[in-house]
Amino acid sequence: MSKVGGKAFDFKLFTKVMAYARPYRGLFWGSVVLTVVLGALGTARPIITKMIIDDAILALDGAYLLNLSLGLVSLLILESLGQFGFMYAANWLGQSIIKDIRIELFDKLQSFKLGFYDRTPIGQLVTRVVSDIETIAQIFSQGILVIFGDLFRIVIMLVAMFFYFNPILVLISLSIIPVLFVATRWFQRGIKGAFQRVRTEVSNLNTFVQEHLGGMNVVQAFGREKQESEKFRAINARHRDANIESIYYYALFFPIIEVLSAISIGLAVWYGGMNAAQGGAVTVGELTAMIIFIGMLFRPLRQLADRFNTLQMGMVASERVLKLLESDHEREANGTKRLRPLKGAIAFESVDFHYNEGEPILHDVSFAVVPGETVAVVGATGAGKSTIISILMGFYPYAKGRVSIDGEELKELDLHDLRQQLALVLQDVFLFSDTVRSNIVLGDDSISDEAILKAAAAIGISEFIEGLPDGLDYNVQERGGVLSAGQRQLLAFLRAYITNPAVLILDEATSSIDSHTEELIQRALIALTKNRTSVIIAHRLSTIQHADRIIVLDKGRVVEMGSHQQLLEKAGAYYNLYEKQFASVE
């Protein structure tokens, strides 16, 4: 390992990041060539200036002055074109690389277990996908390529200075360099810590804003605006303080460099002037060129500290992103077997499940569903009803027992293929900020508007679809915020029905729904469950009396099973739930 920005530089990590540049070798090496060319062109400027003064102006050679002036102008034009080419190529390279990394990271995140999202703040992941990856681009656009160019420029300028100019003049002029290195070291250490605090506070800010805007209904419902505003002010203040700290180092460092540059120029003028006045070897052109060289030399020296910290911050961001990309233990376990066509036989055999070790949710759960049967699962809050869905969809692995579909254990099935034959309707229906059509077809362009309207008629919700302001083109906004809970569930029913699933899994909505929407939902539910295996997690017992069988859960265990009438006659757990619900209604 080497040192960059006061921290061990991880070459292994750097190699992984550089691997993303392989598809863009042309851009990378083109940028490298341009940095070399720019270094050479920049070094030629002071030398031509020296020749203009000493060999043309002082020698009164007008023709030579014209030729040198035209050469200098041509050189400046070439340098400007080279700068444009380098900036364009380096930034194109950086943006192309982060495009690839962002796609890879997004695909990776989609493959993670849901448990990962249960314990990871969404705002933190947004920071990784957006801000951290944007920082990685700077490794190429403002980091490694620019650092290489600056170092090459410094080396070639030093060689040129000692080759073309009086060595004593050069040594005296650059005697201030050790002080510059001390100042640069101080800046590197200070700005590195400040940048790390800025990144941390940006992540905290993103997480807080993401969570609280998403939960604004809770904040307002409980009158927590003042308390949450105070929390936000504190986080925002820490973010400001971290940025001000970084500004402090910049505000102090750059004036120090300007002072050191001025001292270096002063030393050059002092020695060069004294030497020239005494008839020494230093010429006016040489002294002028030396002053230009000092300004050119201090510019990359001043920028190098900032470039190294940019590189280090890019490496820190890379480490965070690559940690996610290399987290195979978070990926969904996936089998290879495919069931085509799916018949819909489901069996739970002595299944145990827990989200956290030592906190069991399901205990020895066993039941079977035959193809075409409608089974409802009921129970008090926290009984484990929704967990049944999570296991059946393969969202979470079960700890013990066996879950099978059509006789094949769930762990051995290709989950992606399986889910294409299942339809899931959750109680909290998620709709994307897009049209009704897009939320129904979910990217499947083979589904026509005619097919959507035909499906809507089949489940009895044509009136609802046609009643929307722009029909299928109506934009439902983020999370379907412009629609009621019942309307969102109707769209979810339509989304499920149009795929013609072999198995329907429904987590019934708990929200209060008006009588008209309730009637539409009941009609749609009957059409949706007809001739297909259906598992319904019921919160309102009035909606599942038509079910072929009802499974009653209590504290994670199956305590009763039977039809609605059978369970009422049994006068057990189901009867008590039924009595409580209808007593509360009365």
Express each pLDDT in 430-447 by its tens digit. 888 888 898 888 888 888
Sign, CA dihedral 439-442-443-446, equals negative
Q: What is the CATH number of the domain that holds 501?
A: 3.40.50.300
Q: What is the mean pLDDT of the chain?
A: 84
The answer to whether residue 2 is domain-embedded is no
- Rounded CA separation 392/535 (Å): 10
The answer to whether residue 395 is domain-embedded is yes
Who contacts 296 (Cβ-Cβ below 8 Å, separation ≥6)? 42, 45, 46, 153, 157
- Rounded CA separation 425/125 (Å): 26
The answer to whether residue 5 is domain-embedded is no
Residue 484 sits in the same domain as residue 392: yes
Give the pLDDT mean for 549-559: 92
Beta pairing class for 408-409 and 400-405: antiparallel
In degrees rounded to 5, what are phi and psi of residue 530?
-65, 130
pLDDT above 80: residue 517: no
Task: Give 6's pLDDT tier (boundaries 50, 70, 90).
Answer: very low
Residue 323 sits in the same domain as residue 359: no
Residue 325 sits in the same domain as residue 354: no
Q: What is the pTM for the complete model shown? A: 0.73
Structure tokens at 135: 């920082």
Residue 106 sits in the same domain as residue 210: yes
Residue 92: give the domain boundaries. 13-330
Look up residue 140 and give its DSSP letter.
I
Residue 75 sits in the same domain as residue 196: yes
The answer to whether residue 335 is domain-embedded is no
At residue 76, the pLDDT reads 92
Who contacts 429 (Cβ-Cβ below 8 Å, separation ≥6)? 480, 485, 488, 489, 491, 492, 509
SS3 label, residue 259: helix
Residue 151 sits in the same domain as residue 278: yes
Who contacts 10 (Cβ-Cβ below 8 Å, separation ≥6)? 1, 315, 319
Q: Which residue has the tokens 């009136």?
A: 463
Question: Range with the lowest mean pLDDT among 28-32, 339-343, 348-352?
Answer: 339-343
Long-range interactions of 75-79: CB distance < 8 A, separation 24+: 75/41, 75/44, 75/45, 75/48, 76/45, 78/41, 79/38, 79/41, 79/42, 79/45
**Residue 259 amino acid letter:** V
User: Per-residue pLDDT tens for 417-426?
Assistant: 888 888 888 8
User: Per-residue pLDDT tens for 119-130?
Assistant: 787 778 888 888
Provide the H-helix boundaries in 384-461: 385-392, 415-419, 436-441, 449-458
SS3 label, residue 557: strand
At residue 3, the pLDDT reads 46
At residue 511, the pLDDT reads 52
Of the residues 330, 363, 381, the one at which a domain ends: 330
192 or 414, greater pLDDT: 414
Residue 264 sits in the same domain as residue 395: no
Give the pLDDT mean for 501-508: 88
The answer to whether residue 313 is domain-embedded is yes
Q: How far apart are the first and last CA of the chain?
A: 74
Who contacts 503 (Cβ-Cβ below 8 Å, separation ≥6)? 342, 344, 346, 405, 421, 422, 423, 532, 533, 534, 535
Q: Which of 356, 358, 360 is nearest to 384 (CA)?
A: 360
User: Per-residue pLDDT tens for 49-99?
Assistant: 888 988 888 888 888 889 989 999 999 999 999 999 999 998 999 899 999
In degrees rounded to 5, what are phi and psi of residue 395?
-70, -35
User: Per-residue pLDDT tens for 33-46?
Assistant: 998 998 888 888 88
Question: Do residues 169 and 275 make contact, with C-beta atoms less than 8 angstroms apart?
Answer: yes
At residue 1, the pLDDT reads 43
At residue 513, the pLDDT reads 66
Q: Which residue has the tokens 């005296």?
A: 172
Residue 307 sits in the same domain as residue 168: yes
Alpha-carbon distances, residue 237 vs 224, 241, 436, 546 (angstroms): 20, 6, 41, 58
The answer to whether residue 336 is domain-embedded is no
Q: What is the CATH number of the domain that holds 98?
A: 1.20.1560.10
How many domains does the chain divide into? Answer: 2
Task: Give 480's pLDDT tier (boundaries 50, 70, 90).
Answer: low
Residue 457 sits in the same domain as residue 314: no
The answer to whether residue 177 is domain-embedded is yes
In degrees rounded to 5, what are phi and psi of residue 547?
-60, 145
Residue 422 sits in the same domain as residue 528: yes
The answer to whether residue 6 is domain-embedded is no
pLDDT above 50: residue 291: yes
Residue 411 sits in the same domain as residue 505: yes
Of the residues 303, 330, 357, the one at which a domain ends: 330
Residue 141 sits in the same domain as residue 277: yes
Question: Do residues 490 and 498 make contact, with C-beta atoms less than 8 angstroms apart?
Answer: no
Of the residues 330, 356, 378, the one at which a domain ends: 330
User: Per-residue pLDDT tens for 352-407?
Assistant: 998 887 788 899 999 999 999 999 999 888 888 889 988 998 888 888 999 999 99
- Rounded CA separation 199/185 (Å): 21
- Asked if the peptide bond before residue 341 counts as cis, ω within 30 degrees of 0, the response is yes
User: Per-residue pLDDT tens for 323-338?
Assistant: 888 887 666 667 788 8
At residue 88, the pLDDT reads 92
